[in-house]
Amino acid sequence: MQLVSMSRIIFLITLSFVLNKSMGQFIASEPINESQVKAWIPKFTLEYQGAYHFGTSEWESTLIVFFSGKEIIAQISHGNWNNDGTMWVMQYDNLHNVSIDKAGNFKSDKYKGQFVLYGEGNNLKKCLKIYNSWTVDIEKGQYELGWRSASIKDMYSGKFAIASTQELDPSELERMSSKDLKIMRNEIFARYGYRFKKDGEMDQYFSKQSWYRPQHSNVSNFLTDLEKRNIQLIKKEEQKP
C-alpha cells in the first residue's frame, strides 16, 4: 500500500508539472493551454490592426497597433491611481521601430511577440502574444496574450479623430476653417487628457465633450510620431495669412 501511495504521489507531481508547463502563460491573468494557441496569418497584414487588451483589474492595459501609411504606430495605454486615490490617471507609452512580417511576428524597441489565434473551433480569439510582457504579474520567460478588443476607429474620440490615425492631407486642411483647424490640433492633446487654460476657449469647448477627462498639464511625451507630424501640418496651415 505504501508503494502504491508513493507511486500515486509521484504521478500527481508529474501531472502537476506537465499541466503547469502547458498552462504557464496568461490571458487576462488566467492560465491558458498552449495547445490552443495557433498561428494567425491573414491575407493582408493590415488585418492585424486593432486594440489588444492585456491584464485585468488595476493591471489592465491596451496596446493599439495600426498602419499610418509611413510607419506602424504602436502605443500602450494603462492607468494608475493618483496620490490621494481619487482619480484613475491614464498614461501612454509609445513603441518605436515597430515591424510586422508576413508570418505575424511583431517587433519593437521594447517588446517582441507574434499575432496568434487562441481557442478552439468557432471560439477563436484574435490575439497578440507578447514575450516578457509589461504586465506586473507575468514572470520572466513567460508570455501573455492580449485579445483584440476593438477596432482602431473605436479607440479615438472627437470630431477629428483622423488627426491621430492617418497622415493628414495639406490640401484637405486648406479647405478647413481656422476654428476647425484649432479644434483639430487641440483635440490631439485633449484625447490624452491635457488640461487647457481654465475658462479659456479650448477649456470651454472640450469641457462639453463627454469623452474629455482633464488629467495632465503636459502630454508631449504621449504623442506619437504621427501626431507630432500632423500637429506641425495643422500649425503650418493656421499660420497662413
The pLDDT assigned to 104 comes to: 97
pLDDT tens sequence across 117-135: 999 988 899 999 999 888 8
Average pLDDT of the chain? 88
Q: How far apart are CA 97 and CA 108, in angstroms?
A: 5
Q: Which residue has the cell 479644434?
A: 183
Architecture of the structural domain at 162-238: Up-down Bundle (1.20)
DSSP state of 7: H
Q: How far apart are CA 87 and CA 114, in angstroms?
A: 34
pLDDT tens sequence across 172-220: 999 999 999 999 999 999 999 999 999 999 999 999 999 999 999 999 9
pLDDT band at 4 (very low <50, low <70, confident <90, very high): very low
SS3 109: coil
DSSP string, 173-205: HHTS-HHHHHHHHHHHHHHTTB-PPTTSHHHHH
Q: Which residue has the cell 510620431?
A: 225
pLDDT tens sequence across 144-165: 999 999 999 999 999 999 999 9
pLDDT band at 25 (very low <50, low <70, confident <90, very high): confident
Check pLDDT > 80 for residue 140.
no
DSSP state of 124: P
**Measured between alpha carbons, how far is residue 164 from residues 70, 155, 186, 239 in Å?**
13, 10, 11, 21
Q: How far apart are CA 177 and CA 21, in angstroms?
A: 60
The pLDDT assigned to 17 comes to: 31
* 109 touches 97 (CB < 8 A): yes
Q: How far apart are CA 112 and CA 110, in angstroms?
A: 7
Rounded mean pLDDT, 52-68: 93
* Higher pLDDT among residues 139 and 122, named by residue: 122
Check pLDDT > 70 for residue 13.
no
CATH 1.10.1220 fits 25-152, yes or no: no
The pLDDT assigned to 135 comes to: 82
* 189 touches 219 (CB < 8 A): yes
Domain residue limits, the chain: 25-152, 162-238
The pLDDT assigned to 62 comes to: 97
